[in-house]
């Protein structure tokens, strides 16, 4: 029986510990200290490190963890992360014995060139780094709108109940933007209230689910005619072509409040 521990780090990062009460695999350890503390608190021993992309807030803790634990480091084949011992890309399957975990690797470029996601189909868990966020998506630092569209489309076809373990708590800001983009979408307002209540109590809003994202996340909903209407009406778009709509949406979000 596996569980996922939420380990907050920095301002708004989540590091994930997948564990069986004895052994743990960590996803995106940007900082070693909170991971070492969580391992100690829960009496877990680290068995593997899984990286989604090369940004420091996702890999920064790897050297310190490796000083304490000699473990395999899985990471994107198309990014040069020095500590990676097992470079993986789409089509690869990862099989860990401890904890007993099977993961499928998906290529999800856009935020970075080689960004990958890990899908645990048995559990219905997706670890997607900075690609899909609750209510939003990652900024396009190295990739194109076309790439991010294709990456998000791969995630959107996962079962609705798939839990989305993204790497940041950006949900409220994302949903305020979503409400601006789709003022008529009542699901966004309902969700915003629920997520606000969680934050007021100091709880994370992550994991989300694919089903919830499909009904409230503008970056999965950019083909909705109302979104193009809204972008046109607010002067953010001149052309209703879907890639242009997605690009305009991403650009508007970059400068939103
Ligand atoms: Zn990043
Ligand atoms: Fe990040």
Residue ranges covered by each domain of the chain: 3-255
Q: How far is ligand 1, taken at its centre, from the CA of residue 168, in Å?
A: 9
Residue 8: CB atoms within 10 A of its CB come to 15
CA distance 38 to 45: 10
Please give the C-alpha separations between residue 202 and each of 12, 113, 169, 196, in angstroms, as whole numbers.
12, 34, 11, 10
Distance, in Å, from the CA atom of 51 to the CA atom of 174, rounded to the nearest integer, reads 24
Give the residue-averaged pLDDT of 168-185. 98
CATH number given to 3-255 = 3.60.15.10
Residue 232 Cα to ligand 2 middle (Å): 31
Q: What is the pLDDT of residue 198?
A: 98
Ligand nearest to the CA of 11: 2
| pLDDT tens column, 17-28 | 999 999 999 999
What is the chain's mean pLDDT, rounded?
Answer: 98
> Residue range 214-242: average pLDDT?
97
Measured in Å, residue 113 CA sits from the centre of ligand 2 at 14
**Is residue 234's pLDDT more than 90?**
yes
What DSSP designation does 34 have?
H
Residue 32 has pLDDT above 90, yes or no: yes
Q: What is the pLDDT of residue 120?
A: 98
Q: What is the dihedral of CA 40, 42, 48, 49, to 10 degrees?
A: -80
Contact 160, 210 (CB under 8 A): yes
| CA of residue 21 to ligand 1 center, whole Å | 29
Average pLDDT over residues 221-235: 97
Q: Would you place residue 137 in the very low, low, confident or very high pLDDT band (cuts 50, 70, 90)?
A: very high
CA distance 156 to 36: 34
- Closest ligand to 169 CA? 2
Check pLDDT > 90 for residue 79. yes
For 67, the 3-state DSSP assignment is helix
In the chain, pLDDT over 70 holds for what percent of residues?
A: 100
53 near 116, Cβ under 8 Å? yes
Q: Distance, CA 244 to ligand 2 centroid (Å)?
A: 25
Per this entry, what is the length of the chain? 257
Q: pLDDT band for position 257 (50/70/90)?
A: confident
Instruction: Give the contacts of 139 (CB within 8 A, at least 6 positions apart).
Output: 111, 130, 250, 254
User: Whose atoms come closest to the Cα of 57: which ligand?
Assistant: 2
Give catalytic residues, as residue numbers: 53, 55, 57-58, 111, 130, 168
């Amino acid at each position: 029986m596996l569980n996922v521990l939420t380990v907050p780090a920095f301002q708004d990062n989540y590091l994930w510990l997948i564990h069986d009460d004895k052994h743990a695999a960590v996803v995106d350890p940007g900082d070693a200290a909170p991971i070492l503390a969580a391992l100690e608190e829960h009496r877990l021993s680290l068995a593997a490190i899984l990286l989604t992309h090369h940004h420091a807030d996702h890999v920064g803790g790897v050297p310190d963890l490796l000083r304490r634990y000699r473990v395999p480091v899985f990471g994107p084949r198309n990014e040069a992360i020095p500590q990676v011992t097992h470079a993986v890309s789409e089509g690869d399957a990862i099989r860990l014995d401890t904890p007993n975990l099977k993961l499928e690797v998906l290529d999800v470029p856009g935020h970075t060139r080689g960004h990958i996601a890990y899908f645990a189909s048995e559990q219905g868990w997706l670890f997607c780094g900075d690609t899909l966020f609750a209510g939003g998506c990652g900024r396009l630092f190295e990739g194109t709108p076309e790439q991010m569209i294709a990456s998000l489309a791969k995630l959107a076809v996962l079962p609705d109940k798939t839990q989305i373990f993204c790497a940041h708590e950006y949900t409220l800001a994302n949903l305020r933007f979503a409400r601006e983009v789709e003022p008529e979408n009542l699901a966004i307002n309902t969700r915003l209230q629920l997520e606000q209540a969680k934050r007021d109590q100091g709880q994370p809003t992550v994991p989300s689910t694919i089903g919830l994202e499909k009904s409230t996340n503008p970056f999965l909903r950019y083909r909705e005619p109302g979104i193009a209407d809204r972008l046109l009406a607010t002067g953010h778009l001149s052309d209703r072509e879907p890639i242009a709509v997605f690009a305009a949406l991403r650009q508007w979000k970059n400068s939103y409040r």
